[in-house]
Each structure stands twice: as structure tokens, then as C-alpha cells.
Amino acid sequence: MSVHHIQQYQIDEIWPQIEKYITSALDTGQGEINASQVRYAVVKGMAELFVTYHNEKITGAVVVEFQNYPNYRLANVVAVGGRGVLIGNNWKEFCLWLKKGGASYIEGHCHESVARLWKAKLGMRKVYTIMRGEL
């Protein structure tokens, strides 16, 4: 398996193959963003797109937005779709891409079940719990 960073100019070519992964990932969220808005964010440079391959076949996609704080740059995972996308060598390769982009930390909003998976498989830790109420 391997991880590839998709450039803005490549989005039209790759989108039909990855839209299903992005859509399925966002379906578990709270409606913050939809797939066409993710596409727009990538095209405009507001988010970065990574695609995983196995035997030259796309197996998943990851969308990240970088957030700059005074003391560090954070890679926020917006969506992860596919099977085994960030496991094993893919995780290591993905982290190298993020470091190359200047990130010192990675985070993502997720449900408790995903948090347990990320802790067990990726060595991540819980730093905040986000609660939401409608106004």
C-alpha cells in the first residue's frame, strides 16, 4: 500500500474514484461539510487530499486541513474513507506527508468507537471532548 498527496490540478481526474470514500466518511459526521464542499476546499487549497493505493487500485481517501496556532501547526483530519486507510505503513507514510507540510500534531473529531480504534491502532490519545448544542 502507499499514500499519495493529490495536487489541486489532479482533483478532476481523481474525484470520480474517491467521492464515495469521502461521502461515506462524512455520512458519520454531524453535517459540518459535504463531499462537494470538500472538493471545493481541496481545489482552493483550503484542504489537502491524500489517496491510498494497493496494487495500483485506490483503496481510500483522507482529507486534512492545516490549522496554524502560535506554538504549532496542526493537521486536522476532516474525513477518512476506505478500508485500512491509515493502518501500518500507510500511517507512517501519511505522518511523513503531514510533517513535510509543517505539522507538529494530528487530530480529528470522531465518535467514541473511532477514538478507541485510533488509540489502539495509531497510538493517538484523547485530549478534548467536544460537546455540541443547537441554538
Q: What's the pLDDT tens digit per position in 96-118?
A: 999 999 999 999 988 888 889 88
pLDDT of residue 89: 85
Percent of the chain with pLDDT over 70: 99
- Buried b / exposed e over 74-83, threshold 16 CB at 10 Å, is bbbbbbbbbe
pLDDT of residue 111: 85
Cell digits for 48? 489537502
pLDDT of residue 50: 95
| Element housing 80 (H / E) | strand 73-82
Cell digits for 58? 485506490
pLDDT of residue 27: 92
Residue 98 CB neighbours (<10 A): 22
Assigned domain for 128 exists: no
Cα 117 to Cα 5: distance, rounded to the nearest angstrom: 24
Digit-coded pLDDT (tens) for 25-58: 999 888 899 999 999 999 999 999 999 998 889 9
Higher pLDDT, 1 or 126: 126
Q: Are 108 and 25 in contact, with CB atoms under 8 Å apart? A: no
Assigned domain for 126 exists: no
Assigned domain for 115 exists: no
What CATH number did the domain enclosing 76 receive? 3.40.630.30
SS3 98: helix
pLDDT of residue 7: 94
Q: How many domains does the chain have?
A: 1
Residue range of the domain that includes 38: 2-110
Residue 10 CB neighbours (<10 A): 14
Digit-coded pLDDT (tens) for 87-98: 788 889 999 999
pLDDT band for position 122 (cuts 50, 70, 90): confident
**What type of residue is 28?**
T
For cell 481541496, the residue is 42
Assigned domain for 63 exists: yes
pTM of the model: 0.88
pLDDT of residue 70: 97
